Amino acid sequence: MTVAIRATDLVKSYSQGVRALDGVTLEVNSGEVLVVMGPSGSGKSTLIRTFNGLETLDGGALDVLGVSLDATHGERQVLAIRKRVGMVFQQFNLFPHLSILDNITLAPIKVQQRAKASAEQRAMELLDQMGIREQAYKYPAQLSGGQQQRVAIARALALDPEVMLFDEPTSALDPERVKEVLDAMRQLAKGGMTMVVVTHELSFAREVADRVMFMDRGQVVETSDPETFFSNAREERSRRFLNQMQH
């Protein structure tokens, strides 16, 4: 099995001195779906942002797809990794003045120098895969949140990433729009994409995760297969969190 991400003893402090990451060690295998759960402020977002160089580290070693992103990494490593690791955020961050199609083809054309016609063809395939092909010529404001988030996923996939990171991708959506985004992510997982997903969606985690990692106060409390985590979590802190989530 190939390891896509190997993190060893990651430490990150923000200026106020709180350790957002306080010695995090984990591995993500190629083709694996790792779901990261934990209370607000436990360091989940900081952790996955380090995986594509959006956060610098204060300590530890981080290897993403063979590129070292540890405390001493430079701009070159970050650029190398951003081309290979896609990320989807809570907010969709689409360009409001560009059509859906142009939102998706912008980076392939500008960054990867792909020909316009081939970038557009790939974009249409991805929109099809996301179930929103008919939205291609509209603008973001004309789409629902769930549709916009699926565009954001298609936009990340247009760069042919080897790993996809999701930071609470359904948290900003109306409840009735959550399922369509989770379905798109489920399809992606089935296709073998390596994924790290921060989410509070318990049934998604239970069904799609290969492993669930539970964090609290910048530390990994436990990493278990979903069946164990949801029915018989090893740690008291995990069980308490799950209890609160279910009530």
Tokens (6 digits) for 73: 């990494």
| Residue 38 or 226 having the CB closest to ligand ADP | 38
Window of 39-47, 68-76, 154-162, 234-242 that interacts with ligand ADP by CB under 6 A = 39-47
**Which residues have a Cβ under 8 Å from the Cβ of 66 and sit 6 or more positions away?**
none
What distance in Å separates the CA atoms of residue 68 and residue 79, rounded to the nearest whole number?
Answer: 12
Quick check: 111 binds ligand ADP (CB under 6 A)?
Answer: no
**Which residues have a Cβ under 8 Å from the Cβ of 81 and sit 6 or more positions away?**
52, 53, 64, 65, 67, 69
What radius of gyration do the chain's Cα atoms show? Answer: 18
Quick check: 43 binds ligand ADP (CB under 6 A)?
Answer: yes
Of positions 46, 148, 223, 224, contacts ligand ADP by CB under 6 A? 46
Closest chain position to ligand ADP (CB): 45
CB of 110 to ligand ADP, least distance (A): 28
Quick check: 146 binds ligand ADP (CB under 6 A)?
Answer: no
Tokens (6 digits) for 66: 């063979």
| Residue 46 or 194 having the CB closest to ligand ADP | 46
**Which residues have a Cβ under 8 Å from the Cβ of 41 and sit 6 or more positions away?**
none
Quick check: 44 binds ligand ADP (CB under 6 A)?
Answer: yes
Quick check: 40 binds ligand ADP (CB under 6 A)?
Answer: yes
Q: Count residues binding ligand ADP (CB under 6 A).
A: 12
Tokens (6 digits) for 18: 């709180």
What distance in Å separates the CA atoms of residue 16 and residue 129, rounded to the nearest whole number?
Answer: 44
Burial of 166 (0-12, 13-18, 19+ CB in 10 A): buried
| Residue 20 or 193 having the CB closest to ligand ADP | 20
Window of 34-42, 142-150, 171-179, 222-230 that interacts with ligand ADP by CB under 6 A = 34-42
CB of 79 to ligand ADP, least distance (A): 22
Of positions 3, 14, 116, 121, contacts ligand ADP by CB under 6 A? 14
Residue type, 46: T
Binding site for ligand ADP (CB under 6 A): 14, 16, 18, 20, 38, 40-46
